[in-house]
């Protein structure tokens, strides 16, 4: 959170000089008076100047973009551009990151691990001082949609295979979110049931054809 | 890299001035020993170490890009980095 301490003959003057330094209007700043001004005996001689601390009020969205840009730059991945979708009624917003093409695989990580980590951190950091919290989802170069598409294909193919062979088929380990999506997606088919098995981070979805009584 | 580690931890704590990061090179691995104010330990580790895990993922990705390996150890100012303290805060390293 950006803040400065400034002094002036009056509180108003001190605040003005702080606002100029921060480059924000009064409406976006919060002022705390550290010291009231006091008049000295001879004019200002021996008097005290007013001292104030002025803090920029950032929305969680501003804080989130700033955090991401800084982290990505410090990761050595260059200057990223963060574009926010409209905020929905529940304060949920999708942030799309654009970066250099060769930076993207690092930014996304294996099965989206880095993107997920950044998403988790940005939600904590950006909402820390916020009165009204927002929920952020991160995407980079349309990764989330592509991942969902490949997840759908993976799940459908594995379910078909389980039914065809009449025995359970296990998918590769995947994050909790992805497993949840696969369970929900395959629920729509009547011919298989799904369970998760194993320990994190190797927990995986097992698809069981309904005709065979594998569960019992 | 140290800059990234410092920034991540300072963003998470309530007392950013008290974040200290010390880097040590051992073989091909750089170990960052991070200390924070005792009140902030929970804020950098998180429930079941989730925050620490996320920080390590991000730092690990940046290191991977540079062909380096890094460890991030977390302690509070009260606990010194004895072997045991290091080890116990080390348990998410291999994820």
pLDDT tens across B55-66, in order? 999 999 999 999
Q: Tens digits of per-residue pLDDT, A96-106? A: 999 999 999 99
In chain B, residues with a C-beta closer than 8 Å to the C-beta of A125 are 11-12
Q: Which of A67, A109, A201 sits opposite B95 (nearest CB)?
A: A201
Q: What is the pLDDT of residue A24?
A: 85
Q: What is the pLDDT of residue A41?
A: 67
On the question of pLDDT at A213 being above 70, the answer is no
For B28-85, give the DSSP string.
Answer: TEEEEEEEE-GGGHHHHH-GGGHHHHHHHHHHHHHHHHTT-EEEEEEEESSS---HHH
d(CA B31, CA A152): 40
Q: What is the pLDDT of residue B28?
A: 85
Q: What is the pLDDT of residue A201?
A: 79
Helices and strands per DSSP (H, E), number in chain A: 6, 9
On the question of pLDDT at B92 being above 60, the answer is no
Q: Where residue B86 falls among pLDDT bands split at 50, 70, 90? A: very low
User: Which residues of chain B are at the A interface, by a Cβ-Cβ cutoff of 8 Å?
Assistant: 3-4, 7-8, 11-12, 46, 50-51, 53-55, 57-58, 61-62, 64-66, 95
d(CA B71, CA B24): 10
The alpha carbons of chain A give a radius of gyration, in whole angstroms, of 27
Q: What is the pLDDT of residue A43?
A: 61
Provide the shortest C-alpha distance from residue B43 to chain A (in Å).
9
Average pLDDT over chain A reads 90
- Using CB atoms within 10 Å of the CB of residue A190, give its burial: 0 to 12 exposed, 13 to 18 middle, 19+ buried: exposed
Q: A210 CB contacts (<8 Å, ≥6 apart)? A: A190, A191, A192, A193
Q: What is the pLDDT of residue A211?
A: 74
d(CA B52, CA A120): 11
CA dist A192 to A11, A189, A208, Å?
71, 7, 5
Provide the shortest C-alpha distance from residue B15 to chain A (in Å).
12
Q: Where residue B87 falls among pLDDT bands split at 50, 70, 90? A: very low
- Asked whether A64 and A136 are in contact (CB, 8 A), the reply is yes
On the question of pLDDT at A131 being above 50, the answer is yes
Enumerate long-range contacts of B41-45, CB under 8 Å, 24 or more apart: B41/B74, B41/B76, B43/B12, B43/B13, B43/B14, B44/B9, B44/B12, B44/B13, B44/B74, B45/B74, B45/B89
Q: What is the pLDDT of residue B91?
A: 38
Q: Which residues of B66-86 are buried (b: 16+ CB within 10 A; e: fewer)?
A: eeeebbbbbbbeebebeeeeb
Q: What is the pLDDT of residue A214?
A: 52
CA dist B44 to A3, A115, A181, B12, B27, Å?
23, 19, 29, 6, 27
Question: With an 8 Å Cβ cutoff, are A117 and B66 in contact?
Answer: no
Q: A50 CB contacts (<8 Å, ≥6 apart)? A: A7, A8, A9, A10, A11, A13, A14, A33, A35, A36, A37
Please give the ipTM for the structure prediction.
Answer: 0.84
Q: Which of A117, A124, A125 sits opposite B57 (nearest CB)?
A: A117
Question: With an 8 Å Cβ cutoff, are B8 and A107 in contact?
Answer: no
Q: Tens digits of per-residue pLDDT, A155-210? A: 999 999 999 999 999 999 988 889 999 999 999 988 999 999 999 879 999 999 98
d(CA A209, CA A169): 9
Mutate to test the interface with A, among B11, B19, B44, B46 (most CBs of A within 10 A): B11
Q: What is the pLDDT of residue A108?
A: 96
For A170-186, give the DSSP string.
Answer: EPPP--HHHHHHHHHHH
Mean pLDDT for A43-47 is 66
Highest mean pLDDT among A24-33, A44-53, B62-71 belongs to B62-71
Q: What is the pLDDT of residue A5?
A: 93
Q: What is the pLDDT of residue B82?
A: 38
On the question of pLDDT at B41 being above 80, the answer is yes
- Using CB atoms within 10 Å of the CB of residue A165, give its burial: 0 to 12 exposed, 13 to 18 middle, 19+ buried: exposed
pTM (predicted TM-score):
0.75
Put simply, the chain A residues between 103 and 162 with a CB less than 8 A from any chain B CB are 106-107, 109, 113-114, 116-118, 120-121, 124-125
Q: Tens digits of per-residue pLDDT, A72-119? A: 999 999 999 999 988 888 889 999 999 999 999 999 998 899 999 999
- Asked whether B51 and B44 are in contact (CB, 8 A), the reply is yes
């Amino acid at each position: 959170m950006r803040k400065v301490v400034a002094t002036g003959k009056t509180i108003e003057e001190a605040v003005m000089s702080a606002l100029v330094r921060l480059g924000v209007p009064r409406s976006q700043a919060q002022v705390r008076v550290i010291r009231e001004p006091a008049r000295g005996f001879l004019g200002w001689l021996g008097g005290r100047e007013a001292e104030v601390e002025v803090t920029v009020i950032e929305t969680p969205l501003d804080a989130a973009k700033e955090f991401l840009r800084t982290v990505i730059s410090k990761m050595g991945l260059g200057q990223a551009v963060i574009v926010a979708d409209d905020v929905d009624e529940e304060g949920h917003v999708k942030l799309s990151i654009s970066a250099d093409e060769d930076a993207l695989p690092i930014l996304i990580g294996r099965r989206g691990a880095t993107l997920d980590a950044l998403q988790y951190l940005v939600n904590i950091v950006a909402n820390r001082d916020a009165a009204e919290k927002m929920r952020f989802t991160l995407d980079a170069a349309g990764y989330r949609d592509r991942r969902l598409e490949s997840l759908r294909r993976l799940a459908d193919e594995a379910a078909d295979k389980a039914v065809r062979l009449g025995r359970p088929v296990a998918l590769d380990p995947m994050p909790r979110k992805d497993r949840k999506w696969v369970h929900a997606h395959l629920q729509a088919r009547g011919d298989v049931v799904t369970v998760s098995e194993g320990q994190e981070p190797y927990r995986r979805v097992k698809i069981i054809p309904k005709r065979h009584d594998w569960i019992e | 890299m140290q800059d990234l580690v410092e920034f991540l931890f300072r963003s998470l704590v309530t007392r950013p001035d008290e974040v200290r990061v010390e880097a040590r090179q051992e073989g091909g691995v750089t170990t960052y020993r991070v200390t924070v104010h005792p009140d902030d330990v929970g804020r950098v580790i998180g429930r079941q170490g989730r925050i620490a895990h996320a920080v390590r993922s991000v730092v690990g990705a940046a290191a991977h890009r540079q062909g380096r390996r890094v460890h991030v150890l977390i302690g509070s100012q009260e606990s010194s980095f004895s072997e045991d303290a290091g080890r116990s805060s080390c348990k998410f390293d291999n994820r």
